Amino acid sequence: MTTAQPFPQDFIWGVATSCYQIEGAAEEDGRGESIWDRFAKTPGKVIDGSNGDVACDHYHRFADDVALMKSLKVPAYRFSIAWPRIIPAGRGPINQKGLDFYARLVDALLEAGIRPFATLYHWDLPQALEDEGGWSRRSTAEAFVPYVEAVLDRLGDRVSDWITHNEPWCASMLGYERGIHAPGVVDKGRAIAASHHLLLSHGWAMAAIRAKCPRAQAGITLNLGPMLPASESAADHDAARHADGHFNRWFLDPVHGRGYPDDMVRDYVALGALPAAGMTMVQPGDLEAIAAKADFLGVNYYNRSIFRSEAIPEADNEPVVRSLAPASEWTEMGWEVYPPGLHQTLMRVHLHYGPRKMYVTENGCSYSTGPDAQGRVADSRRVAFFRDHLLAARRAIADGAPLAGYFAWSLMDN
């Protein structure tokens, strides 16, 4: 029998949210329209037609939400700041009422003894900037810097932990390649340009944080996960290589000073998503800016993916040796529950990229089990999910990964 090893004494435990998903107050106190406001209100884009106009009403109820966290003895809270609330048109005048809200939130957190982790961008680009081309244009990265500086000027004396971007893969690839996230564009070339400009704005934001808040800790959050071949065939391995490059390495490599993966640039050229000259949007100094030294890497982990090649006929491929768990073991988001993937992801990042420190900045599951007559939820699946993923995280620490904290997704339903 083995004795369970505790987490380090200084390990940071927290919960996480995002502004559009919880705040509401979409048209109050000078907030501008975001791409998610426009996208969610476009017929057919959201299955049930819901939007963030009210959401969890956190904008009006933040004091109650902070009190709830205090009652739960939550040590840290990761939240995001809405660019359209601070600079409604994306560039130009600063909306002081927007800054006032986040100042009140931070003050309430500190008074409750809760450590604030602020994310500067969680997908809600001002619609006015999208009307000019959005993240596929360099000018959006340029506009990001004054917004970041305005937030730092107001909150930098009280917030010591900053995340520049949340999941730039989602913002670029789901938003501009697949069109299933805002702004709903389907254009692989624009998605690749968006990915670069998102990372570039990360680098510029890091420089602003270093200049204005030299004692702060700062980094970026990437969504990561294992991309595995369905069989041992060369074709399946190549499909998994491409998926890994698209999802993981395209973002991990440049932020760790390696530039964009050569194999993926070749793939994108072959697909017609890039010109023969490759990443022509990259200007001198861009890669150096993106590789700004970070204090930590945020890792969002939810699931793994398995790939079967479509490049050869199924009859010519090798037998499948790896497949997802039965659907009965998936969350209600349609995602497989695979705790070993968290350990695999943390160890891969640790061994191949060597960040100084890592946080699991999101990990959680979607289940809709309701309360019983006594108001209690028999939430056994969620309990098992967190237990098994925390065991995987603890194993990664034991194996040498510099994991320093874990934030559960999410504080509240949204």
- What's the rounded Cα separation, in Å, for the pair 13 and 352? 26
Burial class (CB in 10 A: 0-12, 13-18, 19+), 1: exposed
> Of these residues, 33, 167, 177, 336, which one is catalytic?
167
Buried/exposed code over 82-109 (b: 16+ C-beta within 10 A; e: otherwise): bbbbbbbbbbeebbeebbebbeebbebb
3-state per-residue secondary structure call for 217-246: EEEEEEECCCEEECCCCHHHHHHHHHHHHH
Q: Within 10 Å of residue 142's Cβ, how many Cβ atoms? A: 14
SS3 56: coil
- What's the rounded Cα separation, in Å, for the pair 125 and 403? 30
- What's the rounded Cα separation, in Å, for the pair 309 and 65? 47
Is 362 annotated as catalytic? yes
- CB-CB contact of 311 with 235 (8 Å): yes
- What's the rounded Cα separation, in Å, for the pair 177 and 179? 6
- What's the rounded Cα separation, in Å, for the pair 113 and 70? 8
The catalytic residue positions are 167, 362
